[in-house]
Amino acid sequence: MRTGILGGTFDPIHIAHLHAAQTARHQAGLDRVLIMPAGDPWQKSEHGVSPARHRLEMARLAVEDVDGLEVDDREVDRDGPTYTIDTLGTFPDDEQVHLVMGADAALGIPSWKEADKVRSRATLLVVPRPGVDSTVLAELIPEAVFLDMAVLEISGTEIREMASRGAPFRFLVPEVVYEYITAHGLYAESGSDDRVGASTDTEEVP
């Protein structure tokens, strides 16, 4: 089994996530790519993230009819902070694991828990990011595989900010995700047509 893991907070999952997952699957010849929402992302613990149940459901809706993409909830169900090395340890030794990550996140690998073990256990598939010098990253992680794909400069932070001020973000996420955000009042105050109601509920996989 050749498995890809695309982790993150997915708050919300958006089209750049899905493009990266599908590109990784085809270019690396993966059997599947797991979309894996983080439960308690330690590197972002000081920033509020939406409840895991919302992030997990949005991810499920986004890949429901996409061949080869699956949602994995093992990190949502885990107690305590989320570390990549712990997640990798839950896969069988004979399963070939590939981590799909943005170039910006890959630059931070030295800060990860047991980074050397992560790099020896999983193949790193790097998604290009604007402003990240690929030559610098190649020197830092020479074994990394760079994906040849469109560079989509979209972030969950940007989408949440757009939603909070009533700016259109409908076509940055799958339609079913947009409908979920609207129905559950995530991210924004009430207001204009594209604005959703304020949430009453209180983005480590690098």
CATH of the domain at 110: 3.40.50.620
More confident residue, 191 or 76: 76
What residue numbers bound the domain in which 125 lies? 2-153
Domain assignment present for residue 171? The answer is no
pLDDT of the residue at 196: 31
Domain assignment present for residue 90? The answer is yes
More confident residue, 188 or 53: 53
**pTM for this model (two decimals):** 0.85
Q: Are 28 and 145 in contact (CB under 8 A)?
A: yes
Domain assignment present for residue 50? The answer is yes
Percentage, residues of the chain above pLDDT 70 = 86
Largest CA distance in the chain: 52
Domain assignment present for residue 42? The answer is yes
Q: Are 204 and 38 in contact (CB under 8 A)?
A: yes
Q: Does 200 have pLDDT greater than 70?
A: no
Domain assignment present for residue 185? The answer is no
Beta sheet of 69-71, edge-to-edge order: 69-71, 32-37, 2-8, 96-102, 122-127, 145-146
Quick: pLDDT tens for 13-31: 999 999 999 999 999 999 9
Domain assignment present for residue 80? The answer is yes
pLDDT of the residue at 40: 60
More confident residue, 47 or 99: 99
Side-chain half-sphere exposure of 91, counting CA atoms within 13 A: 22
Domain assignment present for residue 135? The answer is yes
Domain assignment present for residue 148? The answer is yes
Residue 190: CB partners within 8 Å, gap ≥ 6?
196, 197, 198
Count of domains forming the chain: 1
pLDDT of the residue at 204: 41
